[in-house]
């Protein structure tokens, strides 16, 4: 399994306008083959910070995700609303254990 974990930052005044494009990319990504989980969430203590959490079956699924048409729309929305400071990391995970 591949995990993508990190943050992106948006201007606080753009957060409400980001809801629709974020919801669209989350829904479309969750429907992709190989997507195990895909979520964005606003940090409760740091306005404008969005936490990113993704889980993919394998690297091929993640690579296909990067070229999906809804990702172009999301990239355009991010750029137009001033989203920046992307800090995302990819992790290989094996043998997940519930805690």
Give this prediction's pTM: 0.92
Q: Which residue has the tokens 């043998």?
A: 95
pLDDT at 98: 87
CA distance 17 to 35: 26
Domain boundaries, the chain: 2-92
Residues of the chain below pLDDT 70: none
CATH level 3 topology of 2-92: Alpha-Beta Plaits (3.30.70)
Tokens matching residue 17: 């306008």
pLDDT at 95: 81
Q: Give DSSP secondary structure letters for 32-48.
A: STTEEEEEEEE-SSSTT
């Amino acid at each position: 399994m591949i995990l993508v974990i990190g943050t992106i930052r948006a201007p606080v005044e753009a957060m409400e306008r980001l809801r629709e494009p974020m919801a669209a990319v989350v829904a479309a990504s969750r429907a992709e083959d190989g997507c195990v989980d895909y979520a964005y969430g606003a940090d409760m203590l740091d306005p404008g910070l969005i936490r990113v959490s993704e889980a993919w079956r394998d690297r091929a699924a993640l690579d296909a995700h990067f070229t999906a048409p809804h990702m172009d729309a999301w990239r355009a929305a991010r750029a137009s609303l001033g989203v920046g400071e992307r800090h995302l990391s990819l992790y290989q995970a094996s043998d997940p254990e519930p805690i």
